[in-house]
Structure 1
Amino acid sequence: MKGLLSGRLQPTSRCCAGSRHLAAAAAAAAAAAARHAQRGSSRLMCSSSTSSSTTAAKQPVKAGKQTTNLADSEGSPFHELGLAEVNEGMGRVRVRQHVNPLASQYQQPTIIQDWAAVYADPSLPLFVDMGCGPGRFLLLLARRRQQQQQQQRMNYLGLEIRQPLVERSNKWAEELGVSSNVHYEWTNVSVSLAALLAAYPGPVSTLAAQFPDPHFKKRHKKRRMVQASVVAAARELLVPGGQVFLQSDVYNAAVSMRDEFEQYAGDVLQLSPLHSPASTFQWTPQQEAAAAAASKQPSDVARRQQQQQQHGDSSQEDSASEATFSSSSSSSSSSEQHDSSDDVAAELDSELLSSSEEQFVSSWAAGGWLVDNPLGVPTEREHYVTAQGGKVFRVLLVKQ
């Protein structure tokens, strides 16, 4: 009996002892957890305090609701449009800076079925800005010409491949009260220009190609905006006396556009009488290379190439216009990333030059490049380049 009791009691005694050990261990663990939690809380508070103060130091508070775009600031020719105030309620625009026009989504021609729904009077002469970018140029041109009452009334059409810019430009036109004669259309110019112009009820008086993406490399030539299809549309659909205005701050891009028009429409287009010795300057690839070497700065081609590499495929708020105001200036400090800028420039210049010279020798080259913009209104890119003392290569053509 005693053995039985002892047998029963021994396990019970071991359980009690185990329970006491477990309780003690649990209490010790709880105490340790409490101490750990207290230390962790202290570290978290210190870390949060340090992080907050560091963040506050690194991120100064911006004045106002929205920073004014440089293109709309005082001192800019676009300041008179008042877009800084208009933009306050519109938010920011995110847009790809560079688009491949050969992508499948850009191969369907755009057709406007009802021009009366676009313009108050679709019988007016049409001014077309091909590759209009952010769109301020047409808004300012329409405003200036409206103020100059001696100018003939016109409709203005901006064509742009980046849809967010088109949507915002049309909102600007509405806010400024000029949407009855200023309109922007999302399209690929080289695919849609002929169909759009053929359907327009009124005369097509002016086509402008200003600072298009140069697509530097020879293998990317088909990506350039001014293709044979664009020249053919101008040749067939411009009214007699109609004008084609071409300009770029990249010498070879300007040469490419000029030569394309001369090669495929030189029998119906000619240089404007404005191309006189007093109003033009001459420039050659050798001068471009020499100027770049003398200043130890990359040529226009290399600078634009650097901008593309630095800014990638996308940027925020006016990728095109911000490139005109900021990316060019930033490229001047990129020597660490581009140790052989002059070599890159020489290679790109040579590649583009060879692609032009192999196929065509221009007689229009003797007419030089216009010193001044005959339209009297700049684009965002043009304003930046000229303010920095850069060269702009301009050609004005007239249909016979």
Structure 2
Amino acid sequence: MAVSPRVRAAVSALPGYLPGRPAPSGPGGASYKISSNENPYPPLPAVLEVVQRAAAELNRYPDMGSADLVHALAEHLDVPAARVVPGTGSVGVLGAVLQAVCEAGDEVVFAWRSFEAYPIVVGLSGATPVPVPLDGAGRHDLGAMADAITERTRLVLVCTPNNPTGPVVGAQELEAFLARVPRDVLVVVDEAYLEFVRDPTAVDGLAVHRAHPNVMVLRTFSKAYGLAGLRVGYAVAHEPVADALRRAAVPFGVSGIAQLAAVASLQQADALMERVDAIVDERERVASELARQGWRIPRSEANFVYLPVGSSTPDLVAACSDAGLSVRGYGSDGVRATVGDVPADDVLLEVCGAFLQRWSPDRVG
């Protein structure tokens, strides 16, 4: 019998990350991928020009410290440069956080359902994931999360707006939560969808970071800035944690093209935020129409809506697929659909309206 190299049992037990499926072909050839929360707009011309020029130097290693990007982010966010740590998307930075903070036997508390990568990166670190169910409105139950903290807890993840359900964590409720968190436990505020938030009561991760030495912020250029294909995100952490992240990071992790594109995007922030405003307006249109149809969905402050259809999740995914839509199904919990592409949203609304005619509303709220 052939003997294979052994892999860690913890790795074999990990759930696989499932990317958004490619769009199927629907009636008349209609095909829309709204499963990955991608920005529907192409890169701005100024950003694309920078990327094209940088392609001529692919034979060179990038600046390992991402100095220009760190400087631009520090200026943009009004934080010390020593606190800014770029990485390969916010999930890449999170992986470095886990490597820097957690060991086997440590615990990481997070809401569930939330970002699918959380249990994966926690498991890879050797730590034990401690998922805490969301409340009935798809929101973090911070009281229950505080109750779940033990002497073994090293890290708490707070995703706001929450992916995949959409609600934000309020500023006051997070402060009350932090009052219960031991000071040696790191709290990561994951704000991947920050730019789409319009709720005035929502937490401002940077403000909380400034006030609490054990709070760090994760952000990304993938969503609002439309650089998902270049994989660049960053952390804002107090110096001891930021230094540990730099030590744990993969060398040369952020490509030179990604660094230049991110800096150019910050310089084009006003034009990019006009696009974000248009996506937010479209989100409100979609949410209002779903409510008119009879749907009861969580209040989303991101670039997606979440349909809590429970055991009917595969049926709604199939109905969308038949119409040429690729959406994200979550087991027997619900369906997430990216908004912002008006023709795709119109098809989604048509499918959802027909779905309610076949399944009773008490099964979809």
**When the two structures are superposed, what TM-score results if normalisation uses the length of structure 1?**
0.31
- Whichever structure has more helix as a proportion of its residues is 1
**When the two structures are superposed, what TM-score results if normalisation uses the length of structure 2?**
0.34
Rg larger for: 1
Higher relative contact order (CA 8 A, sep 6+): 2
